[in-house]
Amino acid sequence: WRQRSLRRADGTAYHDEWLIKRKRIDGLFDQAIEFPLENLEELNRYSFPRLSCLDSIEYSREALNSAFNAGKYVLGHDPVNLYDRVVSLAGFETALLAPYKHPQELEFLLDRLTEITLLQIEEYAATNLVQGFMTWQDFGNQNNLVMSPKIFRQFYQPRLQKMIDLAHAYRMHFIWHCCGSIYEL
């Protein structure tokens, strides 16, 4: 959210905190134009950002307290978004081929992203203000899944289950928004 708040002019290129080169476009999300992990064999050289939802919590602490005290439902957001982050770090083609060409590297990347997400859930839970955690994963296109159910279940489902289990252990709801045709899941 900080990147969007900088109000770059359309067409301006920049690197975000994940080292993804993006181009500012009109709309909600800027376009990724260079992917730091397009070659997953470079994963050992990649430096993951230190994310903390506490930054945004502290920034909006007064609003969170006010909402919570008014009986409103307070929802924490996922700054990682597991599958979509893999796509934005590696590019769509690399992300879809990774289970076949680089399964060990994909496992490592997914584990690291999952660890970061679990820390975010713990930080939200520690506030005692957040009742739910929401993530966004676009596993579907207009007509079907972007990967086979087998690949989803092997690589993504166990990690999503860890997130769900942790949120539930803290008595938080886990909300999974998923675009596209995901009926097979």
pLDDT digits (tens, 9 = 90+) for 103-126: 999 999 999 999 999 999 999 999
CA–CA dist 135, 140 (Å, integer): 15
pLDDT digits (tens, 9 = 90+) for 78-103: 999 999 999 999 999 999 999 999 99
What does pTM read for this prediction?
Answer: 0.88
For residue 2, give both structure tokens: 């900080």
pLDDT digits (tens, 9 = 90+) for 1-20: 444 445 566 778 999 999 99
pLDDT confidence bin for 70, thresholds 50/70/90: very high
Helix (H) or strand (E) holding 176, with range, is strand 173-177
Angle at Cα 176 formed by Cα 172 and Cα 182, nearest 5°? Answer: 155
Tell me which residue of 88, 106, 116 sits closest to 43, measured CA to CA: 106
106 half-sphere exposure, CB direction, 13 A CA radius: 21
Tell me which residue of 25, 28, 24 sits closest to 13, measured CA to CA: 24
Q: In residues, how long is the chain?
A: 185
pLDDT at 9: 66
CA–CA dist 126, 90 (Å, integer): 32
Please give the single-letter amino acid code of residue 102.
H
Query: In a 10 Å sphere around its CB, with 0-12 CB exposed, 13-18 middle and 19+ buried, how is residue 50 labelled?
Result: exposed
